[in-house]
Amino acid sequence: MPESNLRIALIGECMIELQQHADGSLHQSFGGDTLNTAVYLARLLGSRAQVDYVTALGDDSFSDAMCRQWAAEGIGLDQVQRLPGRLPGLYCIQTDGNGERRFLYWRNEAAVRDCFTTAAAEPILKALPKYDVLYFSGITLAVLGEQGRARLLQVLSEARSRGAKVVFDNNYRPRLWASVEQARAAYRDCLQQVDLALLTEDDEQALYGYADTGQLLAAYGDIAEVVVKRGAQHCVVQAAGQRFEIPAQAVAQVVDTTAAGDSFSAGYLAERLLGAEPVTAAEAGHRLASTVIQHRGAVIPLSAMPQ
């Protein structure tokens, strides 16, 4: 889909992020899987695309700060709802000596849970099918709830009927679902509307118990393009009847793996939207992810972005 002036909407949740340091101190920022991808997409695509974020926030100072930060990154705010009296969710990252993460969440009352169920959501739901690309994740599905998921599926179906491309990042988080069966049903419904699936292999194994990458890819045979993210190992791309393995980039010291998958997805998608072949796109995804994991937090400084 190599075009200029693309309109891309990413749907999901951004939360207040607390990073816990070794001395117990906390650094506050903001993050969320689809928001992380939105930031990196906006940076990579620049004036060649309009990247909008779709979510619901409160009317508090943290929500104000989020919107200012997104606008500074060039992300459009037209589809962001501000719900009076509500708050965004919050999470804390605890990182061990190897850079691996543990997350603690406070999000049950987050405003995003009513993102598609308010009266203010109606014009947003009507606008979304007119975008060129719609992007969402397994976390999006979880936080929207049953009613919100049903409305999202309607939007995806209408968007594809107009020629839009739908991109899905699996990001399965068991604690967000009442049961694994509920999650599987929600994923199964949405995957019927997906053109590009960006799948973290560990999450797929946790959700479905796939024995290996081959079994995973066989299960996604009906989707036009599938990327399997495998951490420090090579990723696997299945597209147009072909399968490719693209090595990850080695990193001497991993500082924080937060947003590794989100940034890979941004790097891959940006290149595909600009007309690159899957192998080139995967190399770009690895390049960005390998840079991100050498910094703390979900979003690295603009000055640290790879060329």
Indicate which residues carry an active-site annotation. 262
Asked if 186 and 137 touch (Cβ cutoff 8 Å), the reply is no
Asked if 12 and 34 touch (Cβ cutoff 8 Å), the reply is yes
Going by C-alpha positions, the residue among 62, 70, 67 that lies closest to residue 86 is: 62
265-269 long-range contacts, Cβ below 8 Å, gap at least 24? 265/37, 265/167, 265/169, 265/198, 265/229, 266/36, 266/37, 266/38, 266/39, 266/40, 266/41, 266/44, 267/40, 267/44, 268/198, 268/227, 269/37, 269/41, 269/133, 269/135, 269/167, 269/196, 269/198
Based on its alpha-carbon atoms, the radius of gyration of the chain, rounded to whole angstroms, reads 18
Q: Quick one: tokens of 28?
A: 């506050």
b vs e for 60-92, b when ≥16 Cβ sit within 10 Å of the residue's Cβ? bebbeebbebbeebbbbbebbbbbeebbbbbeb
Beta-bridge partner residues of 7: 50
Q: Quick one: tokens of 243?
A: 């399968």
Beta-bridge partner residues of 228: 199, 236
